Structure 1
């Protein structure tokens, strides 16, 4: 008797064929990796093919792999990971695609496939600087419009580049270079032999 995941894996291999770069099963979940040039066509096939029918995009997020595996990562830096749901077949799938250029990561937008991708892609742009080709309203969504940089990138400083404060003399909000001195806090550890035992 085949399991639901085996059926899904067979359907994915039959429908997508050579477009599958990698298909892994771990912890009871399938992860499909595709090339950026196949990304849009694969996502349309995942939505439209009767054997797959992933009607819903549950989530889409950016990932910065630059320090993955304690710096041992040897692939592209930025990826987009999407989670899909098929209500017809009651199964889920994770799809991962890596952007080719680490300096200017660009991938196809999914808003024509799933309109819900709109806000997710704006978030990935805002936090990671991933551009989505074909997105009609790609602007910041959670940081200020004047924000400099992309705060979820691994090389973004914890304190940021600028700080915002209200200036009572100018009677307005102003931006200025960060005045916080970076420091490393080492927690004090107290080890008592019989701590908590009375």
Structure 2
């Protein structure tokens, strides 16, 4: 293992050389390398990042979903769903962030990287559960955090804060039942109260 992390600009060049035209975009910010690849190149790019001599990212340490729909209220014109992975090379003491956008906003799908890093198993299940991203080729893609009968994907920006259904124990049926949400949606932004003499005599 090397004593010091590789310079991020050097790593950027190494990755660009290894991936060639599979690189859609690569940047260095705050000392970190972020790589964007197309969905069609995702699996091949990830395999190269694990195996190429200058890369050797043996570990997938995180994978999560992102819903960019709220960005469209500003200047965002890209695709809605993205999977973000963080890769670590223990042998070369370097890290990279990989972003890949799902080609279809209505049915977000990406190939699973479970065959490359088995740690992707639960990470991809979580992204499926919370964002509805389908990972093609995953061996056991099912919900991991919500209930089996859960409706929708709770981390999507358009998912209601109150949810769609609520559950309770029914004494007559002697089991848990689901029913429409009975609570009213509420504002979650805290109200700020300002008084004329707020803060006492502090100046």
TM-score, normalising length: structure 2: 0.92
- Partner of residue 94 from structure 2, selected from 64, 82, 91: 91
Matches within 5 A, 1:22-171: 22-68=25-71, 70-171=73-174
Report the Cα offset of residue 113 of structure 1: 0.3
Unaligned runs of 5+ in 2: 1-5
Report the Cα offset of residue 7 of structure 1: 1.6
Q: Distance in 2 between matches of 1:53 and 1:134?
A: 23
1:191 aligns with 2:195: yes
Question: Runs ≥4 in structure 1, deviation > 4 angstroms?
Answer: none
1:196–1:119 distance in 2 versus 1, CA, 3 Å? farther
The superposition leaves residues 164-189 of structure 1 with CA deviations (integer Å, 9 ceiling, x where unpaired) of: 11112222111000011123366141
Report the Cα offset of residue 193 of structure 1: 2.8
TM-score, normalising length: structure 1: 0.94
Q: Distance in 2 between matches of 1:74 and 1:115?
A: 33
Report the Cα offset of residue 69 of structure 1: 6.2
1:178–1:71 distance in 2 versus 1, CA, 3 Å? farther
For residue 12 of structure 2, what is the aligned residue in structure 1? 9
For residue 175 of structure 1, what is the aligned residue in structure 2? 178
Instruction: State the superposition RMSD in angstroms.
Output: 1.6
The superposition leaves residues 116-135 of structure 1 with CA deviations (integer Å, 9 ceiling, x where unpaired) of: 00000000000000000100
Query: 2:129·2:145 contact (CA, 8 Å) conserved in 1?
Result: yes
